[in-house]
Structure 1
Amino acid sequence: MHHTTLAQMAITALIVALLPLSMVWISKDVDKYRKLVWVSVFLTFDLIVFGAFTRLTDSGLGCPDWPGCYGLANPFLAHDEIRAAEALMPTGPVTLFKAWVEMIHRYLAMGIGILIMAMMATAWYRWRREKKAGYQPGYPTALFLFICLQGAFGAWTVTLKLQPIIVTMHLLLGMGLLALLVWFGEKQNHAVQSSGPAGVPAVMPGGLRVLAALSGVVLLVQLFLGGWVSTNYATLACTEFPLCGGGRVIPEMDFGHGFHLWRELGKTSAGHYLPFSALTAIHWVHRNFALVVVFVLGYTCWRARHVAALRKPVRGIAIVLVLQALTGIATIYLSYPLAIAVLHNAGAAALVLCLTMVNYRVVFLTSPR
């Protein structure tokens, strides 16, 4: 790619980042650094939701190269190439709409990368001058390295033609970035609270710390299973609920091919077409593991319901669990409507956000009974 194109892309990403940076700068919040962290949380949540829209509209290859579009900075400049590809295959994978969806997703990701770079630069500068604990640069530096890894998986998503394990890992890393930013935001809030009058730590029920950590592990497994369903296009492998596959509780399933991780999209590891029974296995496991998620996270919420410091995020988890069940069932019965499918992905991100808050507060804001 020509250096002029890279410069154009860098300028565009900077423009995308300037709006949230300006909002942080003009805000009345005295702690601009903390404000920057939480603005980054908000935009990362939005990026995950828009990433789901990108995936669900089959726009992942809307621009078949990376980081630009046909070697150019945006679909405006690549208009002729996109129209030529669209003329050959009117429904894609390359269309003008899908190209714009994909490039907006990339520019939003680049904008968040610039916000994290600003966070890292501020931390290093303030740490060298003030040595305050809230500005320790290790965490924002780790965030920067993490988003570089996420960008690499974004590139491999395109260059490896939507290989399911790569796309699933891209999704998981996006959720991981959200969790890391929320944890950092909670840390900044804690630093502000610690600088004020000392409070008495909330008393938590015994074993809640273990339960919260277990909930995180269970949610991580379900995120992988949900990503695996989406990236293998197995959402409608079961068109009934609670039954599946011709009115059976346990349908015909091919776990070996369904959960072989390193293979092309729609193919077995041997290069043959993936059997429908493999897609059924993928869908069935995600659907049934959701019961484990509801039980573990629901029990955690019940145990934590009386802890004042946990009340809001726990209430959020309980509400989102109900909505996730409803949107998951609606996706099956309404034949995979786009809006509900995107909302289901947004619910998963909301669970990550709320559960990260619970885990941080259980560790740092409460004391065992």
Structure 2
Amino acid sequence: MLIQLAIKGMLVALLALAAVWASRDANKYRKLAWVTVFLTFDLIMFGAFTRLTDSGLGCPDWPGCYGHANPLQAHESIKAAEAAMPDGPVTVAKAWIEMLHRYFAMGVGVLIIALMAVAWRNWSRARRGNAGSVAARAMSPWLPSFLLLFVCVQGAFGAWTVTMKLQPVIVTIHLLLGMGLLALLAWLAARQSVHAPVVPAARGLRIPAALALVVLFCQIALGGWVSTNYAALACTDLPTCHGAWLPEMDFENGFTLWRHLGRTGDGDFLPFPALTAIHWAHRVFALVVAAILGWVAVRAMRIDGLRKTGTWLLAALVLQIVIGISTVYLSWPLALAVAHNGCAALLVLLLSMLNYKANLAAAPLTASRMTTHIAAA
């Protein structure tokens, strides 16, 4: 079974590698990095679809499905589980959604291994050829190597998501790690790309951009907590909740992290005020996120070399706000819920690029020192 699963993951990766090989881009490594970013973004979207369609336990074991490499081989077991519980977590459709998500994730893992292998090879060649500091830094294998470790940890949380029956804290961490992987891959891809000159004024944006990224991840954690606790419809009106600015809420039970899905830390059923507290916290903190990200985007739009990224960031922020409001008014339709997750990933991607470019403004002095160091060696 493990060999069959590995083959499926490699087939997914081979499709991406074939696209890289067939591209006209002279820098194939840069192309591979950006293709991996794109597929990771898609994987986050598909992971949201898997969660929002309640397909996370479509195959209740891991890494296979009832001990098999695909739902076709496990068809009898799946049909038996579906017959016993027609509205339960296991159906043929949910099993396929869950397994496709796993194949997709394995494919991204293979691409990261390829990124690491090529980086080590190119870095070794650059050092033997006494290449310049910029080329050596761009080919440094340490970030791709860390990415392999990172994706292994992400895979472990994916396994625990299933084996621990969708425990909210595990699912939320799995989401955060996926977003973190996207941010790191974007940084790696940006390092391979040629960027327009950034004026020294961009150095003043490094701390605000980093703060914006941290605040965004806090909001994603709150959003993941809403989704994993099924609290999206705990408040169905705007701007109030249950007709009140401060509705009845139970923060203690709502934000007890280590507990089973739908249960309190003591094992009782989770009260509705706890779900209200979860939803309300996400909604209120969104105001903080909108203010900070909007401020950073406007500042970036006024700086040469960051104007385009700032404009895209502001546009994505406005779109995310519109989607978030629409999901409440339209009672959380699946397409909008998936788009809400996708737009959050887009914000992570854009803020990662903004952070890279802002840090690039301080690079000349560092690069100079690196050149001297390499020449001396």
Q: 2:227 is matched by which residue type in structure 1?
A: S
Q: 2:176, 2:221 within 8 Å by CA — same for their partners in 1?
A: yes
Give me the whole-angstrom Cα distance separating, in 1, the residues matched to 2:360 and 2:121: 27
Give me the whole-angstrom Cα distance separating, in 2, the residues matched to 1:248 and 1:129: 65
User: Which of residues 57, 60, 72 is equivalent to 1:64?
Assistant: 60
Q: Give the deviation of 1:310 after TM superposition.
A: 1.3
Q: 1:63 is matched by which residue type in structure 2?
A: C
Q: Which residue of 2 aligns with 1:218?
A: 215
Q: Which residue of 1 aligns with 2:371?
A: none
Q: 1:229, 1:282 within 8 Å by CA — same for their partners in 2?
A: yes
Q: Which residue of 2 aligns with 1:178?
A: 182
Give me the whole-angstrom Cα distance separating, in 2, the residues matched to 1:360 and 1:350: 15
Q: Which residue of 1 aligns with 2:276?
A: 280
Give me the whole-angstrom Cα distance separating, in 2, the residues matched to 1:366 and 1:305: 19
User: Which of residues 152, 156, 167 is equivalent to 1:152?
Assistant: 156
Q: Which residue of 1 aligns with 2:15?
A: 19
Q: Which residue of 1 aligns with 2:201?
A: 204
**Does residue 1:189 correspond to 2:193, yes or no?**
yes
Give me the whole-angstrom Cα distance separating, in 1, the residues matched to 2:326 and 2:180: 27
Q: Which residue of 2 aligns with 1:168?
A: 172
Q: Give the deviation of 1:366 after TM superposition.
A: 6.0
**Offset from partner CA, 1:77-134 (integer Å, 9 cap, x none):** 1001000000011122000000000000000000000000011111112222232512
Give me the whole-angstrom Cα distance separating, in 1, the residues matched to 2:84 and 2:202: 63
Give me the whole-angstrom Cα distance separating, in 1, the residues matched to 2:319 and 2:123: 43
Give me the whole-angstrom Cα distance separating, in 2, the residues matched to 1:109 and 1:205: 36
Q: Give the deviation of 1:135 after TM superposition.
A: 2.0
Q: Give the deviation of 1:200 after TM superposition.
A: 5.6
* Runs of 5+ unmatched residues, structure 1: 194-198
TM-score normalised over the length of structure 2: 0.92
Bigger shift: residues 24-33 or 164-173: 24-33
User: Which of residues 110, 120, 126 is equivalent to 1:124?
Assistant: 120
Alignment map for 1:299-310 (pairs within 5 Å): 299-310=295-306
**Offset from partner CA, 1:131-156 (integer Å, 9 cap, x none):** 25122211110000000000000000
Q: 1:239, 1:333 within 8 Å by CA — same for their partners in 2?
A: yes
Give me the whole-angstrom Cα distance separating, in 1, the residues matched to 2:56 and 2:212: 31
Give me the whole-angstrom Cα distance separating, in 1, the residues matched to 2:291 and 2:157: 32
- Cα RMSD, aligned residues only: 1.5
Deviating 4+ runs (over 4 angstroms): none
Identity %: 61
**Does residue 1:229 correspond to 2:226, yes or no?**
yes
Bigger shift: residues 207-216 or 99-108: 207-216
Q: 1:338 is matched by which residue type in structure 2?
A: L
Q: 1:233 is matched by which residue type in structure 2?
A: Y
Q: 1:152 is matched by which residue type in structure 2?
A: A
Q: 2:263 is matched by which residue type in structure 1?
A: K
Q: 2:287 is matched by which residue type in structure 1?
A: L
User: Which of residues 220, 232, 238 is equivalent to 1:241?
Assistant: 238
User: Which of residues 349, 353, 366 is equivalent to 1:353?
Assistant: 349
**Does residue 1:80 correspond to 2:62, yes or no?**
no
Q: 1:201, 1:366 within 8 Å by CA — same for their partners in 2?
A: no
TM-score normalised over the length of structure 1: 0.94
Q: Secondary structure at the match of 1:204?
A: helix
Alignment map for 1:42-61 (pairs within 5 Å): 42-61=38-57
Q: 2:200, 2:361 within 8 Å by CA — same for their partners in 1?
A: no
User: Which of residues 96, 103, 121 is equivalent to 2:99?
Assistant: 103
Q: Which residue of 1 aligns with 2:142?
A: 138
Q: Provide closer, same or farther for how the CA distance between residues 33 and 281 of structure 1 changes in structure 2, counting only shifts above 3 A.
A: same
Q: 1:215, 1:293 within 8 Å by CA — same for their partners in 2?
A: yes
Give me the whole-angstrom Cα distance separating, in 2, the residues matched to 1:207 and 1:214: 12
How many correspondences in the alignment? 356
Q: Secondary structure at the match of 2:59?
A: coil
Q: Which residue of 2 aligns with 1:312?
A: 308
Q: Secondary structure at the match of 2:106?
A: helix
Q: Give the deviation of 1:312 after TM superposition.
A: 2.0
